[in-house]
Structure 1
């Protein structure tokens, strides 16, 4: 069961989408209200949704026909890095100017007990499905990073899964690790959506297929696939380090790293279209615009 937010006659609506892609309007104001109500009733979010829609008619529309919003206005988005071997290799390439035989701090964090976790975005910097992600003006090597996102409650429990695009400047990050915040955080540098899959409906989060496509001038320029089974670290391990001695806000999203990296000669350009699909969640589509647009 997936939860979406969309615009209907100028107001924001919450809805559930079942595995047959039927859409049922929900009475709650947002995803967290759904979670809170389920907790107050001593039931699960899925049970609450099923009870709500059992006597309702499905909307006479397809998801593709709706004006979707970001599924949750996450107060903070955090991200984990170097959680896949491919990501480690890409970071090493950036840091060593292509000398992959050179050992770096990326090798150390890949094998370390403590994972890399960094601040990525806020609600104001995050766009939803169909929104425009923006290029940074002082970078010439920028890529999307397709990632599984964990939607967390205030205790750090995973209550849902979504798709995230962790836009990154490979040249800035490779120049100096202390530049990581500038390589990761700027306006419209993060996107989330198109839905939140209720955590209790995901049988195995380590068997989700991820596909990333980048189109330029209507032609496919880059394609990559991965599976969350390639993750080196467990999801609970990442969340445990995020909440350790930290104040976690309800609805925080933690992106879990990427295993799909475009060819080293590729950089995003104005007008590109990015599509990220994760099985059971949907496809997050965003267009790329130049800085200042």
Structure 2
């Protein structure tokens, strides 16, 4: 599968340079990956905080690193030129329970206390009732408040329904800055989990002023059993070594690619196992219950500033329920699964599933980045 399907778009990303053992800010022109790192904009965070990031990326002089196809085929290793997650200093935030259909599965996880065998019985008992109640419902609306009363009276209310149809969105920290992995890398599962799945999502690139400048793809790996046991385990379920994949590049907004295109995006997910197992799923942004602009406003504003900007996962419609092995236990990953998330205009993000204890350790943080940029003479110059 082609990693980027529309090369006429305007792209912003990062690549690992083995000769300097550090990252470069890159773009894509005529199928070539160009290093556009400069002292005025040495990070993706700097670029997105410029007055006109798209104009900067379009006109920035660059050094050709090689073709996208060649670089995408390289291993994600310190001694190889390869693509990184297209973010650096930004906070990595995620919105949960933004689609009614997947919200039902969150309720089932909670009621089953993380037990996939119990989940099937609960699904048969309540999923139809809840799903019918929430069809085409806009979160935070007066109609949603009425549905809440009805579900409470029926004993079906849940904390997941509160953030799913109530006025306040669920926004959590997915992982730390620069802990996300990029295309081709291993994605990690905490070894305590035995019930988990990928989550194909759109990820918005947002400046420190709250301006949405573009979008990319992400895999918000979900440990259904861990989070299902208690919502207080959300941090343990979400933030682990290699548990967050983003990429392949941020597509910046321009005349041909806008937020309205994101609102209509259709995502496809494929999972291929070493055992011959194959799964295909979909997520349609048109079914989201909260507008992306509202989710950004609930995350970043006068109530909370992010001076380096944010990357914001928008949630997913996808929630696999079909059995992989044992009847009644649904889907769960196996080591070696290859997960591909794709969407027209955004390309494809492919990762291989490992345990988080087997994926490469995260060692390149903010301090290492600053030291590396300083060594290369890329710090100390204000952006234009």
* TM-score bucket of the superposed structures, by smaller chain: 0.7 to 0.9
> For residue 214 of structure 1, what is the aligned residue in structure 2?
271
CA contact (8 A) 2:26 2:35 kept: yes
User: What aligned pairs does 1:1-293 form with structure 2 within 5 A after superposition?
Assistant: 1-8=10-17, 10-11=19-20, 12-17=23-28, 21-28=31-38, 29-36=42-49, 38-39=50-51, 44-52=52-60, 61-66=67-72, 67-97=82-112, 98=119, 99-100=122-123, 101=126, 102-200=156-254, 201-203=256-258, 204=260, 205-217=262-274, 219=276, 221-244=278-301, 245-263=303-321, 265-293=330-358
- 3-state DSSP class of the match of 1:123? coil
Q: Give a deviation string over 1:189-211, Cα, whole Å, max 9, x none.
A: 11111100113352322111211
CA contact (8 A) 2:86 2:248 kept: yes
Alpha-carbon distance change, 288 to 57 in structure 1, aligned in 2, over 3 angstroms: closer
Q: CA deviation at 1:109?
A: 2.2
Cα distance in structure 1, aligned partners of 2:66 and 2:109: 49
Q: Give a deviation string over 1:194-241, Cα, whole Å, max 9, x none.
A: 100113352322111211111101745211112211111011111111
Structure 1 alignment gaps of length 5 or more: none
Cα distance in structure 2, aligned partners of 1:73 and 1:218: 36
Cα distance in structure 2, aligned partners of 1:235 and 1:138: 33
Give the count of matched residue pairs: 285
Alpha-carbon distance change, 118 to 57 in structure 1, aligned in 2, over 3 angstroms: closer
Quick check: which has more Rg, 1 or 2?
2
User: Aligned Cα RMSD in Å?
Assistant: 2.4
Q: TM-score, normalised by structure 2?
A: 0.68
Q: TM-score, normalised by structure 1?
A: 0.87
- 3-state DSSP class of the match of 2:67? coil
Q: CA deviation at 1:22?
A: 4.9
